Amino acid sequence: MSIFALSVSDLSKKYGQQQALSHATFEVSFGTVCGFVGPNGSGKTTTMRMLLGLITPTGGNAHVLGEPISHPERYLDRVGAMIEGPAFYPALSGAENLRFLATLGGLATSQIPELLERVGLGERAESKYKTYSLGMKQRLGIAAALLPNPQLLLLDEPTNGLDPAGIQEIRELLRSLADDGTTVFLSSHLLSEIEMISDSLVMLRKGEVVFAGKTQELLLQQQPTILAKSADPKDLPRLLEIAHQAGHEGSVIGEVAHILGPTEWAGTLNRLAFDSGIILIQLEPMLPTLEETFFEMTGEI
């Protein structure tokens, strides 16, 4: 049996002359949460659709739960998915929509009330889908994805339209599912959420994988920044000059100097500043956030 829930190798998809995905290669281990990030149009949804057998790749291959994506019938009964937002029949209630999908998939309908409670839709279970707010539709989409008690969850922007409390609930739900052994592969534009929840990360840019690995490894690869604030703001240009002479570039943003350098160099900077008569009232080494890293790696700024 494969040790990976998802194993993607050289996967490509071309629509006419448009290369939607180019030679993507990555793996996702069982029982982990993997963030799938990239700017709009970078190929995230195309990849997810290929993993679900909805579209056919033009090159490469992939395995889901150890089975090739050319035979989705071998693994989809163990997969839950929500792709490109929730899609249900507007004239049916939330519960009816789930009963429809459960019947189609040969799944127990008795679990539906509990599932709806779990995603916070218990009180509106019998309301028609067309009366739901965007956040409620999103919750129903997540409930539908959980119907088969999946080994693998593929979620495309699951927190879209949710309020902050809802986002936190879904984050906790996904984390608890992963702790129970479910593999979660999710795309989101909320990079802070991805950073908080994911063990690993796949980053796409213009259809190509620019990073695939552990989230912490990615952040540690990035150049940390030392934030320094002097007692007299007029000293900041002189502080930048001292850093420059020591081989570290920086800039002043507001009344704070941002100097690129390893965390351990902060002490040296403090001593050099003191020797030059500059009193530092704040000295804070900082790792870049996933958002900053994303912007840098995808060239989105």
Partner 1 sequence: MIRVFLAESRKLRRPGLFVGTMAAVIGVSALVTSLLFLLIDSARGNGRAGELVTRASLELPQGISVGFSGSAGLLGLVALCVFASQTAQEYSYGTLRNLLVRQPRRLTLLLGKFLAMNLFALLSVIFSAIVSVSLAYALSGKAKVSTAAWSTSDARISLIHTFINVFISVIAYGTIGMILGLLLRSPISSISIGVGWLLVVESIIAATVKNSGKWMPGQLMNSIASGGDFNASYSHAITVLFAYLVVGVTLVSVLFRRRDVAN
Residue numbers at the binding site for partner 1 (CB under 8 A): 49, 52-56, 72-73, 76, 79, 81, 83-85, 87-92, 96, 99-101, 103-106, 144, 148
User: Min. distance of Cβ 79 from partner 1 in angstroms?
Assistant: 7
Q: What is the 3-state secondary structure (H, E, C) of 25-65?
A: EEEEECCCEEEEECCCCCCHHHHHHHHCCCCCCCEEEEEEC
- Burial of 1 from C-beta contacts in 10 A (0-12 / 13-18 / 19+): exposed
Q: Based on CB atoms, which residue is closest to partner 1, 152 or 269?
A: 152
Q: Based on CB atoms, which residue is closest to partner 1, 13 or 248?
A: 13
User: Min. distance of Cβ 4 from partner 1 in angstroms?
Assistant: 20
Q: 164: Cβ–Cβ under 8 A, 6 or more apart, which residues? A: none
Cα 243–chain centre separation: 35
Q: Based on CB atoms, which residue is closest to partner 1, 144 or 228?
A: 144
Q: Based on CB atoms, which residue is closest to partner 1, 19 or 222?
A: 19
User: Min. distance of Cβ 16 from partner 1 in angstroms?
Assistant: 12
User: Min. distance of Cβ 52 from partner 1 in angstroms?
Assistant: 6
Q: Based on CB atoms, which residue is closest to partner 1, 183 or 293?
A: 183
User: Min. distance of Cβ 130 from partner 1 in angstroms?
Assistant: 11
